[in-house]
Structure 1
Amino acid sequence: MQELAEKLTGWLREQVEQRGARGLVVGISGGVDSAVTAALCKRACPENVLGLIMPCFSDPQDAADARLVAETFAIPYKVVNLDEPFALLVRLFTGEEYDPQKKDLAVANIKPRLRMVTLYYYANRYGYLVAGTGNRTELTVGYFTKYGDGGVDLLPIGNLVKRQVYELAGYLGVPQRVIEKTPSAGLWPGQCDEAEMGLTYRELDEFILTGQGDERVRETVKFLALKNAHKSQLPALPPF
């Protein structure tokens, strides 16, 4: 893991230099992916990294874990509470108050899109690049919000499947309680990545790395990848 950490740190540093940026901004959610990404950003730009903690009708434990990550790695951070703008937009769009029990994906996706806006405000303000937290497993099946957590400049862990992210987290010293958390995008109370995808990360990782998996796994990956392919593509242009 030491070699991998050093390579990713060097790559991040090169990207900042080559793009004429001053540093990196990263959203810290309290989950393992953002913790690893934040730790790598701190290594790459020790004096020019900013963590953003952006609660939005979120579990308070997530913000507490995000603070723990920032403090563990001595990352300067800001807390930007997005409850009010989110609730305002929900009322504007639906004519109703936000009800998390509805588990409305169109409404829930406003959350990561507001976070993207927030990240780019600070990136523009400081001349930083936005470091995304998506991993290879999620990117393969399109498990991210278009123009939300998918709206970033860099994806430092984008070539690592979930198990590799956990291994790197252990090496970097990510707090154990963050490593042991159930993966969740926090779209609504009790939301779980694996339940929403219909596959476990272990099944996905195995299929991505070896091509092995039962018919259910193969068909689910195929379906999700096709359904979400547009998320990883530039807007389509007419072929004439």
Structure 2
Amino acid sequence: MQTEKVVDYIVNWLKDYATNAGVNGFVIGISGGIDSAVTSTLCARTGLHVLCIEMPIHQAESHVTRAQEHIEQLKASFSNVSDARTDLTPVFEEFKTEVFSDADQATVDMALANTRARLRMTTLYYYAGLYKLLVAGTGNKVEDFGVGFYTKYGDGGVDLSPIADLLKSEVYQLGEFLKVSESIMNAAPSDGLFGDTRSDEDQIGASYPELEWAMKMDDQGKTADDFSGREQTVFKIYKRFNNSNKHKMIPIPICEIPKNFI
């Protein structure tokens, strides 16, 4: 990958899109992970206003520390970057008192994890409305179009997606070029939706390099029967997530009324 050309292309794309939309810049949630670090740095390079928002909900301390470190580094390098912190823990706890939960605990935990992401989306759009900004998404190609590893109308609720055509490995290449901090570059990818340090690999059952391989094999028309051992296991994991999360990756189904009914 021609990293510098890719960086310049994304930055120009962001700037052109914001200018044509008549907005002042971008707002982005900073998680302490590589995707939000790279995306926020790309946005900062446009010279437009970039508002970085911390939105902890019972967050693991390591995630908070990395997020704060990145924001401070970004502000030191770019005068167009500002930040805010919205502690959503009290909002989340109050929400839990107002809903009922008669499902099993694992189902409840997953529903609440997705609720965290949706509370953050609501917060980002609040600030976007205040300051006439676009919500910049942080999803990469594997998450957005491979396994669908994001929350519908949560971190999937954005105005534009600067890195969604890049594999996770390519995002890391951009991170190295953009001099993202070592603590973020070396951290295990995590969605941070459970208030602990569990990684994406812990949840999915496969690493991003493995998922990139499976995505490539799927694009080539391979099936699970073409593999054995760990490769077959990974391919089946990829296909299971890909199939179950199709509803996130395709347009919302519309019930089209027959013309002769109208």
TM-score by length of 2: 0.85
Which 5+ residue runs of structure 2 have no aligned equivalent?
A: 76-80, 258-262
Supply the AA of the counterpart residue of 1:221: Y
Deviations 1:176-201 (A, max 9, x none): 01111111111221321012112110
Aligned to 1:21: 23
**Cα RMSD between the aligned structures?**
2.0
Matching residue of 1:148: 154
Say which of 132, 149, 152 aligns to 2:137. 132
- Cα offset, 1:7, TM superposition: 0.6
Pairwise CA distance, 1:225: 1.2
Displacement after TM superposition at 1:217 (Å): 2.5
Alignment TM-score, normalising by the size of structure 1: 0.92
- Answer yes or no: is the 8 Å Cα contact 2:143–2:149 preserved in 1: yes
Matched, 1:110 2:120: no
Shift of 1:120: 0.2
Larger radius of gyration: 2
Q: Cα gap change, 1:9/1:237 in structure 2, threshold over 3 Å: closer, same or farther? A: same
Equivalent residues of 2:101, 2:108 under 8 A apart: no
User: Partner of 2:174 in structure 1?
Assistant: 168
Specify whether residues 184 and 161 from structure 1 end up closer, same or farther in structure 2 by C-alpha distance, changes over 3 A only: same
Give 1:216 deviation, angstroms.
2.2
Q: Report how many aligned residue pairs link the two structures.
A: 236
Q: Which runs of 4+ in 1 moved over 3 A?
A: 100-103, 209-213
Structure 1 residue runs without a partner (length 5+): none
The alignment status of 1:81 with 2:87, answered yes or no, reads yes
Change (3 A) 1:67 1:101: farther
Quote the Cα distance in structure 2 between the aligned partners of 1:180 and 1:103.
31
The reply on whether 1:159 has 2:160 as its aligned counterpart is no
Q: Distance in 2 between matches of 1:87 and 1:107?
A: 10
Equivalent residues of 2:26, 2:48 under 8 A apart: no
Whether the aligned pair in 1 keeps the contact of 2:27 and 2:128 (CA below 8 Å) is: yes
- Aligned pair in 2 of structure 1 residues 47, 13: CA closer, same or farther (>3 Å)? closer
> Which residue of the other structure, out of 208, 212, 219, is the alignment partner of 1:201?
208
